[in-house]
Structure 1
């Protein structure tokens, strides 16, 4: 079962530096993206796995197994329908897991899927990063971010990443999946609209923040050791998906 890549968010105005106006753009595109993913997730079917294992892609699965073997209290931020958290649970080391996403349909599906397949001690809640306003630092020993940071404007991604880093225990692990890196000319040729700097939208929804791998590595290394980095293809998607397994510095 492949993750559906969670929420997409906000388009920023090229012409306005006004905070209130930017807030209006963000609110508008939150609504657009939530509606889009609610529609996508409404087509997902509840399946009783009957002992069958979940799988995404061999290299992805191996790296997730390493992550899950070291993490007992896991947060999947932008969890979509919860499938990556379910896969972690199946590896057998997870004591508790929390999935958070803005899609009501995705969260409803995750709750039903967990119930049908007897995945215990997994909780799924609707929310964004403000959901954790009352959480203490060091609340989780593992955090999953699959196609989340690269579908946000830079300022939103930085705020999200910093808060999640605070929620992670020292030496805790972060599992970060990113879309492939595409050249701007390719994005435009495929019908995506460049809306600001390296932000690209499709049908009014922000789909990509195009940042090369070296820049991601430089950003992550401020707070993390890169334990694993790998690239892998999906048959339905051009380019190589990027996956980082990060360990928070002491």
Structure 2
């Protein structure tokens, strides 16, 4: 049976693409401070649904208003800024391998959220064996695995970085911490197949409006929360 978790490579999986993309977004912001860049999956209301999910589950596992969070592939930091606006006040870190995206996110932070001391953005390659990070209560991914899957890259031990991704996530997690991921390239079943391990198991799924085609039901996007046991 065909492995549907393997995608064709694309320029959207390259660092150069994202450096160029965020250089333009940063330039646009400097010309118009109200233009804070694109909100990924905005047409599906995914960001609001992720925040609503976390808000609804405050008090469960390690989800709390003061929970520590790391956003993998943070881009312009929009998700973290929105979480701050919704009253989440724990330590928040946005990481991205695109230095240009981090420069852009930091510029938005200085301009619009200068009073926040709990939020920072770092340029980092999470697949670099030398990269070290503390563990977090909540790990976030909004489209990052989608981009990673388009890169076609392999880790130093020969694994694809998609295969290595769950191990990277697992190292960032405490017992009972939550990994919340949103994807437009993979189904709920595919995400579970790719991410679940002996210690990282599916917890809950965010529901989106579906469609029917050819007798099959589906949706254009999915979000799944995993918990570390």
Q: TM-score, normalised by structure 1?
A: 0.62
Q: Does 1:146 align with 2:131?
A: no
1:48–1:90 CA distance, 2 compared to 1 (3 A)? farther
User: 1:168 offset after TM fit, Å?
Assistant: 0.9
List aligned pairs for 1:111-150, cutoff 5 A: 111-115=106-110, 116-117=112-113, 118-129=115-126, 130=128, 133-136=131-134, 139-150=135-146
> For structure 2, which runs of at least 5 residues remain unmatched after alignment?
1-7, 153-159, 211-218
Which residue in 2 is equivalent to 1:96? 91
Which residue in 2 is equivalent to 1:243? 223
> For structure 1, which runs of at least 5 residues remain unmatched after alignment?
1-9, 13-24, 50-54, 182-210, 234-238
Q: Does 1:38 align with 2:23?
A: yes
| Structure showing the higher strand proportion among its residues | 1
2:89 counterpart SS class? coil
Contact 1:79 1:101 (C-alpha < 8 Å) held by counterparts = yes
Listed one character per residue, the Cα deviations across residues 11-32 of structure 1 (whole Å, up to 9, x for unaligned) are: 49xxxxxxxxxxxx9xx94334
What is the aligned-residue RMSD (CA, Å)? 3.3
Match of 2:189 among 203, 206, 214: 214
Q: Does 1:85 align with 2:65?
A: no
Which residue in 2 is equivalent to 1:63? 50
Contact 2:166 2:195 (C-alpha < 8 Å) held by counterparts = no
1:152–1:62 CA distance, 2 compared to 1 (3 A)? closer
Counting matched residue pairs gives: 184
2:70 counterpart SS class? strand
Which residue in 1 is equivalent to 2:178? 173
Contact 1:42 1:105 (C-alpha < 8 Å) held by counterparts = no
